[in-house]
Structure 1
């Protein structure tokens, strides 16, 4: 399939897969004429998002004129990055006229005498439902619906009062007790919905090397969800990919460290942890660890006493303040202030637990983070850091807040130093439409 935009840029795509073609034309199939919704779920990079948004706009433009439509992502920013940017270029290539009013977050799309209006929303939290109240819509597209609150989706679908209106959902799997799984996927007949389940093999544009790379990125529950496409429960050990034989190593001989960071998890009665991370030939090694628990020791230390210990930690590891930054939980306000007063360079940690766990597991699998025998408390925590079963039974992913101080410090390091937001190429990617 070849597309040419007004900028005379050619886009070459692999042929659509059978499932992609199903998505593109499902609403034209006679047996689905009475269906209200389509759900596309499954593994990452399976080629469902953009083809689904293209099908949504084609349906809207062929069935309606002068109507309002909704499109939502977790945030408007993520919707624009993940869907709208590529969708606009495809539509222009297909000779649609597209006007993007960014101040009002509205696309005006015209073709063959039809003009419709697509309003963009963010389903961020419970308050998001207020954004869609009062509007009458002929269709709604939900990108990553499993990340949205139930109240927002319920309010948005209730606005579909135009005759012939339909809802479009896509997502990666979550817990089997997630509200969307229970209320929509498990109730297809009741909801008058069809479901098309995607795996990466359903995206013919992915090379063998790309498939192998993604297969190596995830472990545990995230592997089951993002690679196998299963609605799987988060239970057992959080870092079940931790392999002591491979991930706990001796320091390379004749090591000349290229860079250092220290990540800190600060506690009052709970433990305070300093973790020294040092770079050598593309791998970060945790080669020193400080751990003190006021609860276990029976005596709590003050901020100044902890900073005295940090001074010793720098001296013992031959570190210079000017060369090392500290990554600290943003909630530890008083401690950060005391650190800065003593001349330390402090940056805030990213404390998103689930994103951090998922990302750190990927770094572990790819050999970018390793530990040493100095990481004794960390090694113990790898064997006792658990998913919260009670939360899982409610359809939520959460960790048990026990035996997590070294785990938190390591996650802070991974998200601050190794995590970089991938900039999506403005051109349409060849790895899946």
Structure 2
């Protein structure tokens, strides 16, 4: 016989709020700010913006309206549910609110004291997302990480906010100074009749000093300025400006026994192709060998075929003592024909994750933490690292993009980082978390 224990209700334990968090919670009630149309909270990561903003949004809407529709948006429905809706449900339950979550329609009904309102959930992931909000009339809209959403979606969503007395809640971490949200919303704060509240990690009283220092140690360069200092700064100059050969170039003994290995590949037809061997040893991933070929730079100006590159990879595995059946290939996801050729040869092939900014940010963090290093054999990688720069023209448009030059070995490294190394450290005690 199975003894079933009664299900325990999860309660939310509120911590004392900081002054900045209290401003978010109560701005709509105070004479000096209650007539503002919106609140914008921007600044560093882990500053406690999202939790208090979502709570403030619901408290305001339930205090002000009854039987009205509201919108809540995140980059995706999944991220919105994970980062906002989950904690919000616990907070509201602790305050005596009743919630019904209709996942089929992505709508949450919230009620208390005879009032009831309806909150529709949206993901603003691309230009097509604007179609999702057409036809909706809202009395308020909440945007989590608004700088990650397309401008078209935000414009369409805010246009639906047409009930008398409607307001907007927006939060984000900074991007570049020419990002559309910076230039068209934050820089026009008075014209928008908005209250802007700038957050730092010190505005989150639930974060202790050790945790804050851990997050501060995870970022370098432009990402440190944005995610830790909360600044809207341009991505410019050399991308991997934190690369330090004295600390990051290490040759291990030839007889080293590695715990895990993989080969990452950036594939080019006219551009260069790079193979990178990666080996795990005592909690550090080492790029222990490389292969690099560019038809443009060869003496014969000849590009290799899929079959010829497959031969080259066979030789690369042979010289490194790697088994095709045991060591996976992490492949450029665009190299579809090459993937077929490799599988026919018996290689284990995985499509690489290819989010450029996430990969760069993760790689810089791992470099600073001493979790990835390179062998002196990686001469083409070092040449590229010293030439891999941010695209200034893209930055002028508010976009963060590397210049598509000198990036083949760098791309192969980034594939490995996002597809294998980051998941490895997330599963182990070596990784602090992002």
| Structure with greater contact order relative to length (CA < 8 Å, sep ≥ 6) | 1
Please state whether the residue corresponding to 1:217 is helix, strand or coil. Answer: coil
Match of 2:370 in 1: 367
CA distance in 1, matches of 2:370, 2:211: 18
Match of 2:388 among 380, 385, 389: 385
Displacement after TM superposition at 1:249 (Å): 1.3
Match of 2:52 in 1: 51
- Structural RMSD (CA): 1.6
Once the two structures are overlaid, the 10-residue window that deviates more, 150-159 or 189-198, is 150-159
Match of 2:4 in 1: none
Match of 2:316 in 1: 313
Match of 2:200 in 1: 199
Q: Deviations over 1:271-298 (max 9, x none)?
A: 1111000010010111111011111001
Match of 2:339 in 1: 336
Match of 2:413 among 407, 410, 416: 410
- In the alignment, is the contact (CA less than 8 A) between 2:200 and 2:228 conserved in 1? yes
The size of the alignment, in residue pairs, is: 419
C-alpha spacing 1:35/1:376, structure 2 compared with 1 (3 Å)? same
CA distance in 2, matches of 1:243, 1:384: 14
Match of 2:216 in 1: 215
Displacement after TM superposition at 1:253 (Å): 7.4
Match of 2:290 in 1: 289
Displacement after TM superposition at 1:252 (Å): 5.0
Match of 2:429 in 1: none
Displacement after TM superposition at 1:50 (Å): 0.9
Runs (4+) off by over 2 Å: 6-14, 419-423
Normalised by the size of structure 2, how large is the TM-score?
Answer: 0.94
Which sections of structure 2, spanning at least 5 residues, go unmatched? 1-6, 427-434
C-alpha spacing 1:11/1:253, structure 2 compared with 1 (3 Å)? farther
Match of 2:227 in 1: 226
CA distance in 2, matches of 1:301, 1:10: 62
Match of 2:355 among 348, 352, 359: 352
CA distance in 1, matches of 2:353, 2:9: 42
Please state whether the residue corresponding to 2:55 is helix, strand or coil. Answer: helix
Normalised by the size of structure 1, how large is the TM-score?
Answer: 0.94
C-alpha spacing 1:280/1:29, structure 2 compared with 1 (3 Å)? same
CA distance in 1, matches of 2:397, 2:187: 16
CA distance in 1, matches of 2:67, 2:94: 22
Match of 2:166 in 1: 165
- In the alignment, is the contact (CA less than 8 A) between 2:329 and 2:347 conserved in 1? yes
CA distance in 1, matches of 2:319, 2:254: 19
